[in-house]
């Protein structure tokens, strides 16, 4: 199991109600999921989720997919800006 911390750049301020819609619809039975708007930049959706993967690189791939899935529920334009995959022992960061 890998923890994922992802950042999606919408390009403009994320509209009111978007995060609530994402939190309600994105993997509703998964207690590891949390989405919010970055406190420093209202164009950035932040998503935290756990994924199953064979290794850190596979976790990055799964994290990119999960981040895109969450953004589509917004729906949000833009692109993935960063994904961090981590365990207690290791971490790998992907950035656009």
Helix (H) or strand (E) holding 81: strand 79-86
Tokens (6 digits) for 40: 């420093």
User: Which residues, in sequence order, are bridge partners of residue 92?
Assistant: 85
Is the model's pTM score more than 0.85?
yes
Single out the residue of 65, 35, 32, 68 nearest to residue 50, CA to CA.
32
Question: In the 8-state DSSP scheme, what is residue 77?
Answer: -
CA distance 39 to 16: 14
Show pLDDT as tens, one digit a residue, over the chain (96 residues).
Answer: 999 999 999 999 999 999 999 999 999 898 889 999 999 999 999 999 999 999 999 999 999 999 999 999 999 999 999 999 999 999 999 999
Q: Specify the CATH class of 2-95 in words.
A: alpha beta
What pLDDT is recorded for position 77?
96
What pLDDT is recorded for position 96?
93
Q: Where are the domains of the chain?
A: 2-95
Residue whose structure tokens are 């950042």: 7
User: What tens digit of pLDDT does each residue of 33-56 get?
Assistant: 999 999 999 999 999 999 999 999
Cα dihedral sign, 46-48-54-55? positive
What pLDDT is recorded for position 72?
95
């Amino acid at each position: 199991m890998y923890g994922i911390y992802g950042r999606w750049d919408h390009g403009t301020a994320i509209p009111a109600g978007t995060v609530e819609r994402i939190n309600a619809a994105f993997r509703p039975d998964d207690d590891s999921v949390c989405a919010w708007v970055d406190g420093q930049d209202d164009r950035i959706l932040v998503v935290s989720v756990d994924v199953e993967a064979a290794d850190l690189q596979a976790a990055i791939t799964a994290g990119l997919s999960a981040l895109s899935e969450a953004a589509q529920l917004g729906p949000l334009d833009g692109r993935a800006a960063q994904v961090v995959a981590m365990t207690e022992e290791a971490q790998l960061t992907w950035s656009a």
